[in-house]
């Protein structure tokens, strides 16, 4: 339901601030308030209940630790499938600022990095990772992460340390004992040996094993057992010594029927080898993204449960799992497969889910032996085209493989910077060197329109293998993932849509000839008796008249909505708003030139004006200066500003619709937009605002805004 805001009390102490224009992909024109420097105990990262992360890091703190820096990022598992990615921050006054989200429920790890190589730990976050001293972690609660939360104090199990000798070495393991476990007594417990691909502590710091085991135990969803978490034995003798030490120090059962082994990544490989290299040692085995080549049926004797897990095609174990399932079938070894996790790769977010699924299956009979809900079957090995054989990006099933040319063979650090973060924010995903090229596969990405560039040793570089272009941003390229979600952004069949033409006009403001792009609807009739209504659609700062077509997908949106019957046939004029006096440029130059060439109306009731960011500010500025000149007015990610001298009565009388849009918390304009609403309410100006559009200050939001706006025009 559309919300109409009237009345209200205008804010006090609201002062006008100078606009800071930021060029580049975000194309912003925003009022920026320099945040106050954070004090020592102020968290650098704050996570809201709905998964948005607000970042504010004092520049002085960074410089005191690593010295002066020109760029700051937060690196973490924020990317598609929880891939490691770099999120660049913006310097605002004395702090480095950013906002990201909404993040899916789960555990996130991160570090702060200056100038690519200068890493530092967040001193305001005590949650750390023993194996990665610069990392911190935070939990986004809810949904699938409910078992990752701490149980009430006193209800969970206990974690201790087991020290043992193997050969000439002294080693240690972590041991979780269930609630009610006593060091003495007649009761004995089955035991799970849980292997890590790195350090044992990773299963606690990154795998949340303690919380998972505590929650499963409290819920009665698992058999009481002892879980021995090891770094990973170097060989079979090490594992034998660990098993003996566990049996000597804890009340665990020694027979194979009550012993299980599992692990993640390299730990999963060791678990498979331990279970399948000799018969009858473990009755239960689980591989979380583990690898194994040869399989001997005889050695699988006595294994009651062999369950395999893998992430999606970004998991290095994906193809190996395809090969392993084939080998197991050939050898006649019974196994279960949890299905392909569509939402995670080979990382701790996947392995947490694997542990949650695996542990309740141990040491008891369970009725369900199929895959987890939402998991998918293996489709065979994933193989992007060989290097150099196809222009990038290569898109398959929502997964996108990027590949550089050999021109970057001498680079040291290459990332893909794209709008593939939640809501359409921008992340830099590191690429890996493969021969004399760099390559990475990311995904799955939702159907939508994406744009990207390489960042090569800190410098923006165009993917020259991709012929798409962005006139105002020469280093950007784009690609499209089809699907129902992105239908309105796709091309309509050839010959069915409208036309986009160039209109040259004389700018008396810029004292030069300039160009606008004009969309005319399907079946446009220049001789029609009734002139067409017209929408003047403006771009943002750092952009120009080409951006609504090249980045905003305006043609595709208007074509589809026209063919769907949702659009009043209209002409859309996309002019160049990069001028010192926008009002004069539009009214004296763009509008007369468009009316001279196209059959469009000059009646205010048949004219609309809309714009994004800077163009939205210009739109609202013209509304205040010339109320009633355009009956339909809309602003995307902009703000109204001061109400001084505004004729609210004239605006209400001459405006049939004033509709406002803004992105979510990741749109830095949102606070200034929200501050404008009391001003409008206090003036009594009628407007519509349906709530925030999910996404940042970027095209993902503005495309949705145009999709919503265009069908509303000229229908009142």
Model confidence at 616: pLDDT above 90: yes
Q: Mean pLDDT, to the nearest integer, of 418-437?
A: 94
Give the separation between CA 544 and CA 578, rounded to whole angstroms: 7
Query: Is residue 64 within 8 Å of 122, Cβ to Cβ?
Result: no
Res. 36 pLDDT band, cuts 50 70 90: very low
Res. 15 pLDDT band, cuts 50 70 90: very low
Model confidence at 8: pLDDT above 50: no
Model confidence at 4: pLDDT above 80: no
Give the separation between CA 433 and CA 412, rounded to whole angstroms: 9
- Domain assignment present for residue 458? The answer is yes
- Domain assignment present for residue 178? The answer is no
- Tell me the average pLDDT of the chain: 91
Q: In CATH, what number is assigned to the domain containing residue 203?
A: 3.40.50.1820
| Same domain (yes/no): 589, 634 | yes
DSSP-derived secondary structure for 173-229? EEEEE-TT--SSSS--B-EEEEE-SS-TTHHHHTT-HHHHHHHHHHTT-S---EEEE
- What pLDDT is stored for residue 396 in this prediction? 93
Strands (E), 562-623: 571-574, 607-612
- What pLDDT is stored for residue 147 in this prediction? 97
Window from 8-22, 106-120, 185-199 with minimum mean pLDDT: 8-22
| Same domain (yes/no): 695, 575 | yes
Is the overall model pTM greater than 0.85, yes or no?
yes
| Same domain (yes/no): 708, 599 | yes
| pLDDT 10s digits, 520-538 | 999 999 999 999 999 999 9
- Domain assignment present for residue 695? The answer is yes
CA-CA distances (angstroms) from residue 435 to 294, 403, 404, 466?
Answer: 29, 11, 11, 20
| Same domain (yes/no): 579, 662 | yes
Residue ending a domain, choose from 141, 174, 201: 141
- Domain assignment present for residue 7? The answer is no
Res. 34 pLDDT band, cuts 50 70 90: very low
Give the structural domain span for 134. 35-141
Encode 282-299: b = buried (16+ Cβ within 10 Å), e = exposed: bbbbbbbbbbbeebeeeb
| Same domain (yes/no): 266, 338 | yes
| Same domain (yes/no): 452, 556 | no
Residue of 306, 278, 305 whose CA lies nearest to 290? 306
Q: Mean pLDDT, to the nearest integer, of 475-492?
A: 97
| Same domain (yes/no): 531, 662 | yes
Model confidence at 162: pLDDT above 70: yes
- What pLDDT is stored for residue 89 in this prediction? 96
- Domain assignment present for residue 418? The answer is yes
Residue ending a domain, choose from 442, 471, 486: 486
Model confidence at 9: pLDDT above 90: no
| Same domain (yes/no): 346, 400 | no
Residue of 705, 681, 703 whose CA lies nearest to 691? 705
Q: In CATH, what number is assigned to the domain containing residue 88?
A: 2.60.40.10
CA-CA distances (angstroms) from residue 631 to 5, 6, 274, 573, 715?
Answer: 18, 19, 75, 16, 11
Element (H, E) at 140: strand 132-140
Q: Is the dihedral of CA 323, 329, 334, 339 positive or negative?
A: positive
| Same domain (yes/no): 156, 129 | no
Residue ending a domain, choose from 361, 379, 407: 361
Res. 37 pLDDT band, cuts 50 70 90: very low
- What pLDDT is stored for residue 23 in this prediction? 30
Res. 13 pLDDT band, cuts 50 70 90: very low
| pLDDT 10s digits, 256-286 | 999 999 999 999 999 999 998 877 889 999 9
Strands (E), 28-84: 28-31, 45-47, 53-58, 72-76
| Same domain (yes/no): 233, 356 | yes
Domain total for the chain? 4
Residue of 600, 601, 620, 602 whose CA lies nearest to 610? 620
What percentage of the chain carries pLDDT values higher than 90? 85
Encode 189-228: b = buried (16+ Cβ within 10 Å), e = exposed: bbbbbbbbbbbbbbbbbbbbbbbbbbbbbbeeebbbbbbb
* Per-residue tokens: 217: 């135990």
Q: Mean pLDDT, to the nearest integer, of 40-66?
A: 93
- What pLDDT is stored for residue 2 in this prediction? 28
Res. 24 pLDDT band, cuts 50 70 90: very low
What percentage of the chain carries pLDDT values higher than 70? 94
Res. 80 pLDDT band, cuts 50 70 90: very high
- What pLDDT is stored for residue 392 in this prediction? 85
- Domain assignment present for residue 9? The answer is no
| Same domain (yes/no): 435, 546 | no
Q: How many CB atoms lie within 10 A of CB 490?
A: 17
The conformational region for residue 532 under phi > 0 = left, psi -120 to 50 = alpha, else beta, is: beta
- What pLDDT is stored for residue 40 in this prediction? 52
Q: Mean pLDDT, to the nearest integer, of 192-210?
A: 95
Model confidence at 296: pLDDT above 80: no
Q: Which residues pair with 454 in a beta bridge?
A: 416, 461
- Phi, psi of 253, rounded to the nearest 5 degrees: -80, 140
| pLDDT 10s digits, 535-565 | 999 999 999 999 999 999 999 999 999 999 9
- What pLDDT is stored for residue 299 in this prediction? 74
- Domain assignment present for residue 566? The answer is yes
- What pLDDT is stored for residue 234 in this prediction? 61
| Same domain (yes/no): 480, 510 | no
- What pLDDT is stored for residue 302 in this prediction? 83
Res. 237 pLDDT band, cuts 50 70 90: confident
Q: Mean pLDDT, to the nearest integer, of 21-31?
A: 32
- Domain assignment present for residue 21? The answer is no
């Amino acid at each position: 339901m559309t919300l109409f805001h009237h009345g209200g009390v205008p804010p006090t102490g609201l002062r006008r601030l100078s606009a800071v224009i930021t060029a580049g992909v975000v194309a912003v024109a925003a009022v920026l308030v320099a945040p106050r420097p954070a004090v020592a105990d102020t968290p650098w990262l704050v996570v809201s209940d709905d998964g948005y992360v607000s970042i504010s890091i004092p520049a002085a703190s960074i410089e005191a630790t690593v010295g002066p820096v020109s760029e700051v990022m937060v690196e973490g598992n924020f990317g598609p499938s929880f891939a490691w990615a770099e999120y660049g921050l913006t310097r605002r006054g004395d702090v480095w600022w950013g906002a990201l989200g909404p993040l899916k429920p789960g555990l996130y790890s991160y570090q702060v990095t200056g100038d690519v190589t200068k890493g530092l730990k967040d001193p305001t976050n005590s949650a750390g990772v023993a194996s990665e001293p610069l990392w911190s972690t935070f939990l986004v609660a809810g949904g699938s992460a409910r078992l990752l939360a701490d149980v009430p104090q006193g209800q969970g199990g206990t974690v201790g340390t087991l020290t043992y000798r193997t050969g000439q070495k002294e080693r240690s393991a972590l041991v979780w004992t269930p609630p009610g476990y006593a060091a003495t007594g007649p009761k004995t417990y089955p035991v799970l040996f849980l292997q890590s691909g790195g350090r044992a502590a990773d299963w606690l710091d990154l795998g949340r094993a303690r919380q998972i085991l505590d929650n499963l135990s409290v819920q009665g969803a698992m058999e009481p057992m002892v879980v021995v978490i090891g770094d990973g034995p170097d060989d079979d003798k090490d594992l034998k010594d660990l098993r003996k030490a566990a049996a000597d120090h804890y009340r665990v059962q020694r027979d194979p029927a009550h012993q299980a082994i599992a692990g993640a990544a390299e730990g999963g490989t060791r678990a498979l080898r331990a279970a399948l290299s000799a018969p009858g040692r473990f009755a239960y085995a689980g591989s979380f993204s583990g690898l194994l080549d040869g399989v001997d049926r005889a050695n699988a004797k006595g294994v009651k449960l062999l369950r395999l897990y893998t992430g999606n095609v970004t998991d290095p174990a994906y193809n190996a799992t395809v090969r392993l399932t084939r080998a197991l079938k050939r050898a006649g070894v019974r196994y279960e497969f949890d299905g392909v996790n569509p939402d995670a790769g080979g990382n701790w977010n996947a392995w947490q889910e694997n542990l949650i699924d695996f542990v309740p299956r141990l040491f008891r009979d369970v009725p369900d032996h199929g895959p987890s809900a939402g998991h998918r079957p293996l489709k065979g090995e994933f193989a992007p085209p060989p290097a150099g054989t196809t222009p990038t990006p290569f898109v398959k099933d929502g997964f996108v493989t990027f590949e550089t040319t050999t021109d970057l063979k001498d680079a040291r650090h290459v990332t893909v910077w794209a709008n593939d973060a939640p809501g359409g924010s921008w992340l830099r995903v590191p690429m890996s060197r493969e021969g004399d090229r760099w390559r990475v596969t990311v995904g799955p990405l939702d159907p939508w329109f994406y744009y990207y560039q390489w960042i090569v040793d800190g410098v923006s570089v165009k993917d020259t293998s991709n012929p798409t272009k962005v006139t105002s941003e020469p280093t950007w390229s784009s690609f499209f993932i089809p699907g129902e979600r992105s239908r309105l952004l796709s091309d309509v069949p050839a010959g069915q849509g409208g036309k986009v033409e160039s209109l040259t006009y004389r700018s008396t403001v810029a004292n030069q000839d300039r160009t606008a792009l004009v969309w005319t609807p399907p079946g446009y009739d220049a001789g029609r008796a009734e002139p067409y209504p017209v929408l003047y659609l403006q771009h943002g700062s750092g952009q120009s008249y080409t951006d609504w077509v090249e980045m905003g997908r305006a043609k595709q949106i208007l074509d589809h909505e026209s063919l769907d019957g949702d659009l009043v046939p209209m002409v859309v004029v996309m002019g160049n708003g990069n001028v010192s006096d926008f009002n004069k440029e539009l009214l004296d130059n763009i509008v007369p030139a468009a009316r001279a060439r196209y059959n469009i109306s000059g009646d205010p009731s048949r004219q609309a004006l809309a714009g994004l960011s800077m163009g939205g500010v210009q739109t609202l500025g013209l509304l205040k200066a010339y109320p009633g000149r355009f009956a339909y007015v809309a602003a995307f990610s902009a703000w109204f500003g001061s109400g001084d001298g505004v004729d609210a009565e004239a605006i209400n009388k001459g405006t049939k619709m004033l509709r406002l849009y803004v992105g979510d918390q990741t749109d830095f304009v949102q606070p200034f937009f929200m501050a404008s609403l009391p001003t409008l309410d206090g003036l009594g100006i009628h407007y519509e605002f349906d709530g925030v559009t999910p996404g940042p200050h970027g095209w993902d939001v503005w495309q949705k805004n145009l999709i919503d706006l265009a069908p509303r025009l000229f229908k009142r």
